[in-house]
């Protein structure tokens, strides 16, 4: 269950992470008064559960209360990547000295969490990873041990963050654990001109299976504005729609994140994040491929699976089943490695489907998927 930015911000503030003063409204007429309370100037931000708001014009600086009302009215009439804007958050501007990125995400395949951090925040982390992969640190976190001061210091050191970020990382871990989250992200985490570290934007995805013990979200709307995300949720899939042309399916959040980076580094844009989990069956693989192939923006699909709990022959069986069900018109690149990989490759080889291509490595698979997306 994804939260809106203002809800993520509330959780950060409750756990001692500094955030700018802000208020939320669904009425443009209220924006003028909110801006006055914030000191006159305000950043007006569309509240939608998707990325790319800034590029779409959904984040703007208003210089005075009158401009805040006018800007809020314009943004409330927008639709961003299929998501209608029904509310805006007005936040107090801050003087930014530097921007960073920090997050924790569940890595299902590895049975642990992954800390992802960078000294280059403020843009999509996939773009940073594609341009300068060495600038993005990935540090595994044992859930039994959690993020200790020593682990936080390791993340800070590996990513090149300021030492004070260790406290933010400790508090962000508490958000993840206490709120039963699968993902917590701050982008950007900024250092202000006054030397404070502050979360300017955030994303939190809660574990729907733990909803029963998170009373505050009991009445939270669970419908998905994007029809593909709704279809995926109905099938129990961990799917996020992105703005690209290469569909991505993998088993484990860490592997999928790496695949997104490699696709971006190959000159293409990922169309989605889809983690089929560590114990995915043929049915789950079939369901996932069906959802990704139904995206009209997808021009090729990359299936990247490392067999552990998930056997590669079961993945191959799921691909065969999906091909029977959806009759694709888009090329599919498959990379299988690990448990029963040879058997899985043999299943796909015996199928001899003209749209199914196999690759030996993740890099080869990403390059092929990118090329096919540009030529298909």
DSSP state of 3: P
Contact 108, 253 (CB under 8 A): yes
Q: What kind and span of H or E run contains 163?
A: none
Q: Is 125 helix (H, G, I), strand (E, B) or coil?
A: helix
Query: 96: left (phi > 0), else alpha (psi -120 to 50), else beta?
Result: beta
Q: Are strands 202-206 and 181-192 parallel, antiparallel or unpaired?
A: antiparallel
* 101 noted as active-site residue: yes
**Per-residue b or e along 163-193, where b marks 16 or more CB atoms closer than 10 Å to that residue's CB:** eebbebbbbbbbbbeebbbbbbbbbbbbbbe
User: Which of 154, 185, 225, 245 is the catalytic position?
Assistant: 185
What's the Cα-to-Cα distance from 6 to each of 47, 48, 167, rounded to whole Å? 8, 10, 22
Number of neighbouring beta carbons within 10 Å of residue 359: 18
The tokens for 336 are 């299988």
User: Which of 4, 23, 69, 101 is the catalytic position?
Assistant: 101
What's the Cα-to-Cα distance from 51 to each of 1, 23, 242, 274, rounded to whole Å? 15, 20, 8, 16
Q: Are strands 356-358 and 88-91 parallel, antiparallel or unpaired?
A: unpaired
DSSP state of 148: -
Is 52 exposed, middle or buried (CB count within 10 Å of its CB: 0-12, 13-18, 19+)?
middle
- Phi, psi of 249, deg, nearest 5: -130, 130
Contacts of 356 (CB under 8 A, 6+ apart): 319, 323, 331, 332, 334, 348
Q: Minimal CA–CA distance to 231: which of 294, 183, 173, 176? A: 294
* 124 noted as active-site residue: no
Residues designated catalytic: 101, 185
């Amino acid at each position: 269950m994804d939260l809106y930015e203002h809800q993520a911000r509330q959780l950060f503030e409750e756990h001692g992470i500094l955030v700018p003063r802000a208020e939320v409204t669904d009425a443009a007429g209220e924006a003028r008064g909110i801006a006055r309370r914030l000191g006159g100037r305000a950043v007006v931000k569309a509240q939608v559960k998707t990325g790319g708001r800034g590029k779409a014009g959904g984040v703007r600086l208003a210089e005075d209360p009158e401009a805040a009302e006018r800007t809020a009215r314009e943004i409330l009439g927008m639709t961003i990547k299929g998501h209608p804007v029904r509310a805006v958050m007005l936040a107090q501007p801050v003087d930014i000295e530097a921007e960073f990125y920090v997050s924790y995400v569940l890595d299902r395949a590895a049975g642990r969490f992954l800390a992802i951090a960078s000294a280059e925040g403020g843009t999509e982390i996939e773009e940073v990873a594609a341009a300068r992969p060495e600038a993005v640190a990935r540090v595994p976190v044992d859930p039994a041990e959690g993020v200790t001061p020593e682990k936080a210091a390791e993340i800070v050191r590996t990513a090149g963050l300021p030492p004070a970020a260790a406290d933010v990382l400790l508090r962000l871990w508490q958000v993840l654990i206490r709120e039963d989250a699968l993902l917590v992200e701050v982008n950007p985490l900024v250092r202000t001109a006054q030397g404070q570290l502050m979360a300017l934007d955030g994303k939190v995805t809660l574990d729907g299976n733990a909803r029963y013990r998170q009373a505050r979200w009991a009445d939270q709307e669970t419908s998905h504005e994007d029809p593909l995300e709704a279809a995926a949720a109905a099938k129990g899939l961990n799917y996020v729609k992105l703005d690209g042309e290469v569909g991505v399916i993998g088993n484990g959040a860490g592997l999928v994140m790496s695949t997104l980076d490699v696709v971006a580094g190959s000159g293409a844009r990922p169309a989605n994040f889809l983690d089929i989990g560590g114990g995915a069956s043929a049915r789950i693989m079939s369901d996932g491929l069906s959802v990704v192939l139904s995206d009209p923006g997808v021009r090729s699909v990359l299936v990247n699976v490392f067999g552990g709990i998930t056997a590669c022959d079961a993945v191959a069986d799921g691909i065969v089943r999906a091909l029977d069900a959806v009759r694709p018109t888009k090329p599919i690149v498959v990379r299988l490695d690990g448990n029963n990989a040879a058997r899985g490759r043999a299943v796909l080889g015996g199928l001899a489907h003209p749209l199914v291509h196999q690759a030996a490595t993740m890099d080869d698979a990403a390059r092929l998927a990118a090329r096919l997306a540009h030529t298909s």
